[in-house]
Amino acid sequence: MKPISDHETGFISKEISLIGEMKVYPIRIHVIHEENQTVQFAVSELKKYLTAITGQEVKINVKENYNAMDPGIWIGLPSVLPPVRLSRERLEADDSIWIDVEGGNGIISGGNPRGVLFSVYRFFTELGCRWVRPGLDGEYLPNVSLSSKIVKLMESPAHSYRGICIEGSVSLENVTEMIDWMPKVGLNSYFIQLREAYLFFKRWYNHINNPLKSSTEVYSVEAAEASVRKAEIEIKKRGLIYQAVGHGWTCEPFGIPAQTWDKWEQEVDPEISQYFALVNNERKLWDGIPMNTNLCYTNSYARAKMITEITRYAADHPEVDLLHVWLSDGSNNWCECDSCIKVSPSDIYVRILNELDEALSAENLETRIVFLLYKELLWSPVHEEIKNPKRFVLMFAPIHRSYRKSFKVEGELPELPEFVRNQITLPQTVAGNVAFLTEWQRHFSGDGFDFDYHLMWEHHKDPGNTMIAQILHGDIQHLQDIGLEGIISCQTQRSFFPNGLAMTVMASTLWDKKRSFDAIAENYFNSAYGKDGSLCRRYLQEMSELYFELDLENKAYLQKKGKNDVFQRIYSLFHQFEPVLTRNRMHDCTCHSTSWRHLKMHAEIWGELTSALEELYRSNQSHAQTKWEALRLKLWEIEDQYQPVLDVYNFVWVFDGIFSEEQA
């Protein structure tokens, strides 16, 4: 075998190792002494994937200074590297990436440590590597000869807020695999909701919604805390923006924990309940649930208790970059006392935020606070203004919105409904929701992002997952039109069934909003499935369109009695695709074989689920329920086969709801 020449390896080196008869030069990575752990991690990832795709030895050299004469890949922050030949301005933006590598020589850098890590992953993406879902079986790593490759690019992301919020049911591995996956696709922020994320871990470790696995062992808060500490290590290692908490500030200050949405079974001392909202002449926990309870916020002692607790938390947790301060998770539960009825919910919320800002400033705490536009708080304040906008980030959470239209709003926005205390109803239309946001933005000009739920419940109603991905794409493309700088997706972490198209679309469009859905989808399907990727895309697209007609969101299929050809078309689609599934049973590549295995399982599950839904459609409620229960049992039995990509807790919750509702 002919030895590789200096020309082919792209650099000159005296260091030569022998593999059989072939002389192979090590690839060299140079890093100027750097203590930042994210840059260090970027270096180790660069080495790991270079080794994997080239099969060559990779050596890391720590240097004092940059030396253009020293061949290899130089990696680090721009301050230690030569001036960028392209625009300096773009590089200085947060998360910007800079790659200038030719034949194994050059520079990998970024606008901040996280940007350096993004650059490493983008370098490998340009070389043909893909991460189609979290975990090793989602990695597609081709064999690459570095000597012939040129990667030169400099980019900044279109949006500043590109993140995931923990929801659903999770193991620690589900969380850490998601955190590991995020920077590979350009996502920059992870939100651990609720103090210990206890509920989300408990759902998994106690196997709630899977009685075949459930145990009597009680999952402890301490175990959840330990998992959160481990997740934080992974967040910080990657330099991700760490967001925390959310609800719970209305009861934790009074010693009532807000770890779940369960009812509080213990007696509440009247010394405490005197600070709860007065609703229907009673001051008590709302529906017995601490998380959903509002306080009598015009009571200065109640506000002070909250603010002291939030300030203490911020002081104890300097690792938190964005601290969420939300009120109750209920609605129509605002205090009706003589003092509170004179103040609108958002006015009193802004008063709390201003007092919190003063308290944090007094302690020299720079923690940024995220405030929530949600339910009653969608109506903007009437009198109060946020005094220090730099402290705050606006979060728009249109939880009642429809997912059948994107944020592209045409024509005039509708008038806002009148606010009537404890009698609100919220619009489902996207325009109706955006109207609230627009009014709020007249009172706040700081940063804002969308907190949205595409992949929380709605994706389960779109088995092709392509329609929800298209809505998500359209939403992100129009975020800046409505004054928002990104999305934090409140979602099940395991939203990769049958594939990660929607997640990939989200990451890709948040990075580059001009990229078309078609371009992202085509790339994704080819990456995830290999040569029959385009057939998969057509099949899932068609399935999405048929299910869009059924409209599980509005249960419209129940009103379309007599027009059952949709079901026949769905069965026919499954039937037509069977040969493609059969011929793709075996793949050498783990990434592709796993994608096909998931798709086959998906066809089996959705074949049965469609049959159960057809019974519902025919008003055969008991047959529908029987078929759903048989499928649910199967899902429970085979959970280990799909656990990393589908959240059975969440899936069962959604379809238990659909099948148990009284039918018209």
Residues forming contacts to Zn ion in the complex (CB under 5 A) are 296, 335, 337, 340
Nearer to Zn ion, 80 or 335 (CB): 335
Q: Please list the helix, strand and coil fractions of the chain in percent, rounded to the nearest 5, in that order.
A: 45, 15, 40
Closest C-alpha to 519, from 532, 501, 535 = 501
- Give min distance, CB of 417 to Zn ion, in A: 23
> Nearest 5 degrees, angle CA 170-CA 113-CA 45?
65
Q: At what angle do helices 501-511 and 466-478 cross, to 10 degrees?
A: 10
- Who contacts 527 (Cβ-Cβ below 8 Å, separation ≥6)? 130, 132, 140, 533
- Give min distance, CB of 284 to Zn ion, in A: 14
- Give min distance, CB of 221 to Zn ion, in A: 31
Distance of alpha carbon 435 from alpha carbon 449, whole angstroms = 15
525 DSSP 8-state letter: H
- Give min distance, CB of 46 to Zn ion, in A: 58
Q: What size, in residues, is the chain?
A: 664
Nearer to Zn ion, 99 or 335 (CB): 335
Give me the phi and psi of 130, to 5 degrees please: -140, 150
Nearer to Zn ion, 347 or 458 (CB): 347
Nearer to Zn ion, 278 or 370 (CB): 278
User: Is the Cβ–Cβ distance between 280 and 289 less than 8 Å?
Assistant: no
Nearer to Zn ion, 81 or 341 (CB): 341
Taking residue 619's Cβ as centre, other Cβ atoms within 10 Å add up to: 12
Nearer to Zn ion, 274 or 660 (CB): 274
Nearer to Zn ion, 139 or 384 (CB): 384
Strand spans (E) along 171-321: 189-193, 241-246, 278-279, 282-283
Distance of alpha carbon 654 from alpha carbon 555, whole angstroms = 13
Residue 425: is it exposed, middle or buried by C-beta count within 10 angstroms (0-12/13-18/19+)?
exposed
- Give min distance, CB of 298 to Zn ion, in A: 5
Q: CA 471 → CA 237, 466, 544, distances in Å? A: 32, 9, 12
> Nearest 5 degrees, angle CA 553-CA 423-CA 310?
85
- Give min distance, CB of 339 to Zn ion, in A: 5
State in Å, rounded, how far the first CA of the chain is from the last one: 76
- Give min distance, CB of 299 to Zn ion, in A: 6
The SS3 call for residue 558 is helix
- Give min distance, CB of 294 to Zn ion, in A: 9
Nearer to Zn ion, 30 or 303 (CB): 303
The per-residue DSSP string of 89-126 comes to: HHHHSTT-EEEEEETTEEEEEESSHHHHHHHHHHHHHH
- Give min distance, CB of 334 to Zn ion, in A: 8
645 DSSP 8-state letter: T
- Give min distance, CB of 309 to Zn ion, in A: 19
Nearer to Zn ion, 231 or 295 (CB): 295
- Give min distance, CB of 439 to Zn ion, in A: 25
Nearer to Zn ion, 337 or 535 (CB): 337
- Give min distance, CB of 251 to Zn ion, in A: 16
- Give min distance, CB of 419 to Zn ion, in A: 17
68 DSSP 8-state letter: T
- Give min distance, CB of 278 to Zn ion, in A: 6
Nearer to Zn ion, 301 or 585 (CB): 301
- CB crowding 567-591: b at 16 or more within 10 Å, else e: beebeebbeebeebbeebeebeeeb
User: Is the Cβ–Cβ distance between 293 and 333 less than 8 Å?
Assistant: yes
Nearer to Zn ion, 116 or 296 (CB): 296
Nearer to Zn ion, 58 or 340 (CB): 340
Contacts 24+ apart (CB under 8 A), 427-430: 427/400, 428/400, 428/401, 428/402, 429/401, 429/402, 429/405, 430/398, 430/401, 430/402, 430/405, 430/406
User: Is the Cβ–Cβ distance between 455 and 502 less than 8 Å?
Assistant: yes
> Nearest 5 degrees, angle CA 36-CA 39-CA 44?
125
Nearer to Zn ion, 296 or 609 (CB): 296
* Token pair belonging to 179: 């955190």
Nearer to Zn ion, 34 or 376 (CB): 376
Distance of alpha carbon 514 from alpha carbon 510, whole angstroms = 10
Amino acid at 503: M
- Give min distance, CB of 425 to Zn ion, in A: 23
